[in-house]
Chain A
Amino acid sequence: ETGVTQTPRHLVMGMTNKKSLKCEQHLGHNAMYWYKQSAKKPLELMFVYSLEERVENNSVPSRFSPECPNSSHLFLHLHTLQPEDSALYLCAAGGDRSEKLFFGSGTQLSVL
């Protein structure tokens, strides 16, 4: 148990659906991250929030929309996704510019 919980663990959605991924941290860290892990590709940073303010947006398509309502919760809202968006989406928490990140187990997303 890393103190970072992601739900759901698995998600299958059609290209016209709207869904949300949820991340919750119980560690009291200031920063939260969304990463994308595709097969045979390195982890890609998507978004970083620090103290509920987005501090990094790594050229992610607008069909991915993050939300950080407070320092313990992070969402990734999904709409009109493409099959190539199928991947493992990992949430992480850490201190400001922390070297040590605590990762959740991820949401395995399949877009049909």
Chain B
Amino acid sequence: AQSVTQLDSHVSVSEGTPVLLRCNYSSSYSPSLFWYVQHPNKGLQLLLKYTSAATLVKGINGFEAEFKKSETSFHLTKPSAHMSDAAEFLCVVRRDSSYKLIFGSGTRLLVRP
């Protein structure tokens, strides 16, 4: 069965410093993995997705994630945080050939000035 674990419920960084949001998955198949972002009072927006092509995936707003099969991880990073990055970030795995996306519990990113 597929599942996804986000290791930190909250991450706080200073503006201009790197961001690391951690995600581990379990999957019986080659997974499709995603990061979504949710800003307050807004719906979710897709940041990036991994679907068995390049292991380093670049997304919008300077975010990227690296698929590491040996570690079953798909951590999200950004070299330099901006105040506008403050949001809830959701790591997601998709069951193959399924409509069902399995969402992690989310990590709230706080960016300090």
Contact = CB atoms under 8 A, between A and B. Distances in A.
Interface residues of B, number: 22
A47 B32 CA distance: 21
Nearest to A45: B100
Interface residues of A, number: 26
Nearest to B33: A99
Given A100-B49, A103-B45, A56 B101 contact: no
Contact of A100 (B46, B98, B106): B46
Contacts of A4: 43
Contacts of A90: 43-44
Nearest to B92: A43
A99 B51 contact: yes
A31 B90 CA distance: 21
5 contacts: A4-B43, A44-B103, A45-B100, A55-B99, A56-B100
